[in-house]
Structure 1
Amino acid sequence: MSDTALSIYQDSGPPAGSADYTTLVLVHGFAWHSGIFAKLIPLAAGQNTRIVLVNRRDYPGATPFSPEDHAVLQAAMTSDAATAHAQLVSFMQDRAREVVDLLARFVQANKIPLAQHEEKKGGIVIGGWSFGTAWMSSLLAYRPSVPTGDIDGGVELSKYVRRVIFYDSPYHVLGFAPPPAPHDYNPLFDPAIPPADQTRVFANWVSGYFAHRTNTPALAAASAASSVSDADKLAAAATFEVRAHLTAPPPTLSILTPDEVAAALFPAPGDPGGSDSLLVAGGIPCGVFVTLREAALAIPTDEAWCAIEVRHVWCDRSVWETTWTTWNLRWRIAEARKKGEKLREVTSVRLEGANHFVHWDEPERALAAFLTDEAEKY
């Protein structure tokens, strides 16, 4: 697999003697690479699952972005919105190609079991955590337009991919608008924090447990509504704790050993001028994440991809950004139903009391959320 742009950081291997195991492929988020999923690996065989942890470009083991790629990201920062949007859509189409390439080559090299949709066995379940969700929305949006042949060597991925997971995605990665100020705090955009320190401060903040007041009547009403006013959104946003995490449980980062941090945290792509940082800064104002979301939620033009489940896994004590995604997904789908607009069906699994790093703190629960067939329909 060394000839793919993405890198397989770790592979649990197939469960001994199984001919119908599920292959779970996970793509990491912002500043953390797939070493953060390491606690899932020992659980794989017991769940009839092969776990494959993937590192994105500019992270350890993967192909660095070229100077030309970085130039595209830099240009999007200063181009007008239409030009930046076109540049970044093309950039994300290339990321979809890389995911397709990796999956197809992995299928070829390992002869993994075909997806059995009715029996809910075999095939591939692929998920992107946090910022990695953008790679999942790109996959759903652009797979039908990715040419066959050299890219996938003739592998029909629709016969293998069974589920695509948006795992605890921040709202902006799915192109949703932020809540009204002051309910939109993120240390990456805090001018009081020196730019060189923002990524590391963010890593601690994002790994905390937050006591949101999400069971209030205002939020319940807003989350069920088919149209949402600014007042409804303000009422929903006001239920979030945006800065102060709980002291117990402590932030996940605070309990990791130095060796564990070194094996999973990789700030460079998230630091100022890094590829992830540039993609966030250029992608939000030009609307590329909105385009990715809408294309991902649209009914596929390739009929074979209609059977693939889209799942949203979210943690209700994670940072406010991910719970805000939950309400916005509900609002978007409810709005579509009201208008008679056809969207993909999206299922949801809520992990109560879990934070953004549930795969580290409670790996059994995280794995069960990825693999279970019990899910709510939005």
Structure 2
Amino acid sequence: MIQPTQTFSLSGGIKLSFTDSGAPFNQLNYTTVLLLHGGVFNAYQFHKLHAYAHSLNLRTVLLHRRDYAGSTPYSSSEIQELERGNVIFWERLAAQMGEFLKMFIEREGIPKLAARQKRALSPQANGLGKGGSGGVAILGWSGGCLPIISFLGATQNRMFSEELYGFLVEYIGECIFYDPSYNCFGYPLPPDNRNYIPWEDTANSSEDFLQAFSNWVSSYYDHPCYDPITRSLPATATIHDLDGSRRKSDETSVSSWTAEEIAKGTEERPARNEIATFLPPVQETLRVLTNQALFDPYCTRSWFPDVGITHIGGTRTGWICAWTMIETKKRYLQHSRTHGSESEDLDPKTGPGCRRIRFFDMDGANHFAHWDRPAEFLRLVAHSIRTP
């Protein structure tokens, strides 16, 4: 059943629309998962997850990001800030997401993180024993990881009040990167990359772009570097070890969509604005924010220090996301070796001089695991939240 759309009005006249699964019945320690969609595909893409949330002691909130259905479009000045790489654009988005979360938590009485609760719950209390730790997890899919990077990386955000930070630090326990693309982290492509990029393909007319992009991004790829023993894409792989030349596979997730599902779930206009995130000035800014969010020892220990990272990727996703996971694994391992990972006094959430990152390869999944395998996908999300 499709949940009704709600809208919150934030300061500055900003509106954000969303759907909510509601709280699991008679549970005290459920976890709320805020899901942020990527480019082209809005929050409708996640609607199947609502049906599985309560059985996993989760509450799912599907947010339409700025510029998408029911949420306030970017102004022309904001688009200029984005294209110029001005960090204030990302600071504003982070503050707005924080304001939305605070409003939702207060209105709905969301339970705090178990570790932050002032009184211990009895083991016999309702809800315990079924899993759950209270609090909020923020999940970004594809380009939806950009708001998470801005949230964790804008550590000197003047729009983020001390009061707002002090409130949210009691609730947010995990951030989940779900199949992000390399632009989210400002990773520069190798100069000899020859993998296919649809928005650089002059053969795609403006009328054909949406269909061409949808087929490309929802295909199932067979990467030569796939390790059948570990059922993963190894950190030793390179961008040249991926199935990156094809425009689509025989099997795609979108091939079975009805005209109604396409109309509800895809939006081309805002996606064209987000292509600006690939511009060099924007990539430079995102590179800085990523370092502060994930790898800078001071930032990770002073800004939401108890928040860990989970990176979920499909082993048959497109190269643009497969390479991002491989590269993030590589950088995390290199950082761990450089800064040492054997110290006994390391914080489990900040890890070896950086924020802790765990990696889950979803075997056989493409970029649309939430659509093609929703129950399995949400079980993995629940597992990642509850694994110490």
- TM-score for both structures, normalised by structure 2: 0.82
CA contact (8 A) 1:348 1:376 kept: no
Tell me how far 1:53 sits from its aligned partner. 0.3
Gaps of at least 5 residues in structure 1 are 77-83, 226-231
Tell me how far 1:314 sits from its aligned partner. 0.5
CA contact (8 A) 1:125 1:162 kept: yes
C-alpha spacing 1:375/1:190, structure 2 compared with 1 (3 Å):
farther
Tell me how far 1:120 sits from its aligned partner. 5.3
Tell me how far 1:45 sits from its aligned partner. 1.2
- Secondary structure at the residue paired with 1:200? helix
Which residue matches 1:293?
A: 290
Query: For 1:354, which of 362, 365, 382 is the aligned residue?
Result: 365
Which residue matches 1:371?
A: 382
CA distance in 2, matches of 1:296, 1:304: 8
C-alpha spacing 1:58/1:244, structure 2 compared with 1 (3 Å):
closer
- 1:321 counterpart letter in structure 2: I
Which residue matches 1:251?
A: 252
CA distance in 2, matches of 1:199, 1:245: 13
CA contact (8 A) 1:6 1:102 kept: no
2:44 maps to 1:35: yes
CA contact (8 A) 1:269 1:277 kept: no
Deviations 1:145-198 (A, max 9, x none): 35565983x861111001101110012221112245453311111122224533
- Secondary structure at the residue paired with 1:26? strand
Moved over 6 A (4+): 374-377
Query: For 2:241, which of 230, 238, 242 is the aligned residue?
Result: 238
- TM-score for both structures, normalised by structure 1: 0.84
C-alpha spacing 1:8/1:90, structure 2 compared with 1 (3 Å):
same
CA distance in 1, matches of 2:53, 2:188: 37
CA contact (8 A) 1:140 1:296 kept: yes
Which residue matches 2:153?
A: 141
CA contact (8 A) 2:37 2:140 kept: yes
Query: For 1:48, which of 45, 54, 57 is the aligned residue?
Result: 57
Gaps of at least 5 residues in structure 2 are 1-6, 117-130, 340-351
Deviations 1:77-103 (A, max 9, x none): xxxxxxx34x2x121111111111111
C-alpha spacing 1:376/1:195, structure 2 compared with 1 (3 Å):
farther
C-alpha spacing 1:145/1:357, structure 2 compared with 1 (3 Å):
same
- 1:254 counterpart letter in structure 2: S
CA distance in 2, matches of 1:177, 1:278: 15
Tell me how far 1:261 sits from its aligned partner. 1.2
1:152-171 matches, within 5 Å, as: 152=164, 156-171=167-182
